[in-house]
Copies of this chain bind each other. A is one copy, B any other.
């Protein structure tokens, strides 16, 4: 005979990802809302709690659940620490509350309950046996000394109910599976990233920048409002099969090679390229970045140049072909001759996994707490689940960004396995309907529980066609979208200059001409036409408006024009709306509709609209609002709404 009878059903628990296989994600300062269907046969009164603890703690805390309706219960508890929490639901039938309810109904129907009182007393006596709480002895004595009415009043009193509730009989309780929530620091959800390619930071043509040169840019990046400075690999680069400019198969003398061709006689993944400086210089760069209120994200690319020291020191980590060579990376018929992959089927799997963990820990010890992981979808899922956990066990503040431009389910699986953030398809979503659909999936559907988007408007490898064709208006529009649709977003250096020269004919590739991946560059960071002022204002708007720092509060609103996207975010009193012209070539206009009903503003009540990019301040009345968005003037507008609090605002309302 299976199961204990009298069991309580606990099902449809929220949040629970893939039957509890993976943790969900939240951030420090959040409250975790837990929900479940809880019921039992018959008519017993049920009590339920959520028990929860920081992983590794012995003791559980308990939060009582409250009945919501239709057998659904809920409770919430605070996530105060950057760690993982365990939680589970415990439910039991409450015999004394059941007794009180039934006896109460009978009394109210004028029925005599002498026998019921004796039964009630035995529940009190059992509570005493369980708890040895002396106050219950007093209750029993009072009961025994009282007459019918006195006994009834005593056992129906809230005092006795509370006393018994403090010693619940959970001997036949049901407990749900124990579930996990990973609680990350705030930067996991919210931040502005600047991808700084060291080769873009040079001041002498044809020469590498140094960490010292890179430091020179930090004041400006800080001023522009960035939070994270992400560096592509900074390690020594192999010479064998090194790529030349614009991905030429043969490098010319002086060509630096792709920084993803990691490893040379000068060192591997734990070394810095001598042209950039020393490890100590790097640590200073990390410190300087902190000084400027930002932090460094480092690229983590598991691959090696044919000259990587690992090949000599650990041949067992590579697979040799019948001719004694190591297969270079390829995606047939494409070839990456400057890169070889490790053999995940190596007999020394444990050593290989540990080495990569140690590489991560090495950089963590240099002060790096964010890793942008290159192509994680080509490495074993189980490795990621293990290595992220290994690092976060001791350093829960480490953030992993998954650079997996791959199939939707693989992208999502990496997020489930533990990646803190994910690159997304944002870069390829340009039409109104596809943006709405994709953002609705990310912000309202299951992914919101485990996948945090990082919307890059461009990367060193991706110059989207809309930027190639749309120029400056497109750069502004896509910046606004990235920075306001997602609380975490990024740009790759040069975006602020509206650099959009593609390799080959416009619209045929997404690569940059003369990309820094293969050569050194010197840029004029103040070149005419730059949109740095826009970047600064948008990052400022993000910082000043809490609503911009959340993901799941995104709502799309009425704007009956296919070229104008209109949406808003609201957190507490802060309500911000964005209207963007998705067409970088033509002006478009439409009415948009502010959801005044969500803001507690009546349709006939005056309110104030601030356009945050221009600083315009308007008085308005009614939910309909007209916008006209011209590519050269105002490709997007950002509105903050507030009630008209001053007499002046009220008087001016149109």
Query: Which residues of B are found within 8 Å of A71, using beta-carbon distances?
Result: 407-410
A647 at the interface (CB under 8 A from B): no
Residue of B nearest to A414 (CB): B41
Residue of B nearest to A109 (CB): B333
Shortest Cβ distance from residue A481 to the other chain B in the assembled complex, whole angstroms: 25
Query: Which residues of B are found within 8 Å of A407, using beta-carbon distances?
Result: 39, 70-71
Residue of B nearest to A104 (CB): B332
A508 at the interface (CB under 8 A from B): no
A385 at the interface (CB under 8 A from B): yes
A119 at the interface (CB under 8 A from B): yes
Q: Which of A252-260, A289-297, A372-380 contacts B (4 or more CB under 8 A)?
A: A372-380
B41 & A410 in contact (Cβ 8 Å cutoff):
yes
Knowing A118-B322, A322-B119, the reply to whether A408 touches B70 (Cβ < 8 A) is yes
How long is the Cα–Cα vector from A407 to B9 in the complex, in angstroms?
A: 14
Shortest Cβ distance from residue A96 to the other chain B in the assembled complex, whole angstroms: 16
How long is the Cα–Cα vector from A59 to B119 in the complex, in angstroms?
A: 56
Give A1-52 interface residues, CB cut-off 8 Å to B: 1-7, 9, 11, 18-20, 37, 39-43
Q: Which of B42, B350, B408, B410 contacts A377 (CB 8 A)?
A: B42
Shortest Cβ distance from residue A151 to the other chain B in the assembled complex, whole angstroms: 13
A312 at the interface (CB under 8 A from B): no
Query: Which residues of B are found within 8 Å of A413, using beta-carbon distances?
Result: 9, 11, 39
B106 & A349 in contact (Cβ 8 Å cutoff):
no
> How many copies are assembled?
2
B6 & A331 in contact (Cβ 8 Å cutoff):
no
A204 at the interface (CB under 8 A from B): no
B5 & A385 in contact (Cβ 8 Å cutoff):
no
Q: Which of B20, B323, B333, B386 contacts A1 (CB 8 A)?
A: B386
Give A81-113 interface residues, CB cut-off 8 Å to B: 102, 105-106, 108-109, 111
B409 & A332 in contact (Cβ 8 Å cutoff):
no
Q: Which of B11, B70, B109, B380 contacts A5 (CB 8 A)?
A: B380
A67 at the interface (CB under 8 A from B): no
A105 & B332 in contact (Cβ 8 Å cutoff):
yes
How long is the Cα–Cα vector from A119 to B325 in the complex, in angstroms?
A: 13
A interface bracket (residues with beta carbon within 8 Å of B): 35 or more
A77 at the interface (CB under 8 A from B): no
Shortest Cβ distance from residue A62 to the other chain B in the assembled complex, whole angstroms: 24
Shortest Cβ distance from residue A322 to the other chain B in the assembled complex, whole angstroms: 4
Q: Which of B41, B321, B331, B353 contacts A381 (CB 8 A)?
A: B41
A345 at the interface (CB under 8 A from B): yes
Residue of B nearest to A18 (CB): B11
How long is the Cα–Cα vector from A18 to B410 in the complex, in angstroms?
A: 24
A383 at the interface (CB under 8 A from B): yes
User: Which one of A1, A349, A377, A408 has the highest number of Cβ atoms from chain B below 10 Å of its Cβ?
Assistant: A1
A651 at the interface (CB under 8 A from B): no
Q: Which of B19, B20, B322, B380 contacts A6 (CB 8 A)?
A: B380
Query: Which residues of B are found within 8 Å of A321, using beta-carbon distances?
Result: 115, 119
How long is the Cα–Cα vector from A380 to B42 in the complex, in angstroms?
A: 8
Query: Which residues of B are found within 8 Å of A380, using beta-carbon distances?
Result: 5-7, 41
Give 8 nearest A-B pairs by CB, closest first. Answer: A109-B333, A105-B332, A19-B19, A5-B380, A3-B382, A118-B322, A71-B409, A5-B382
* Interface contacts beyond A6-B345, A108-B333: sample of 17 additional A-B pairs, CB < 8 Å, sorted by A: A1-B350, A2-B382, A2-B386, A5-B380, A6-B380, A11-B413, A19-B19, A42-B377, A42-B378, A42-B379, A43-B331, A70-B407, A70-B409, A71-B408, A105-B333, A106-B332, A118-B322
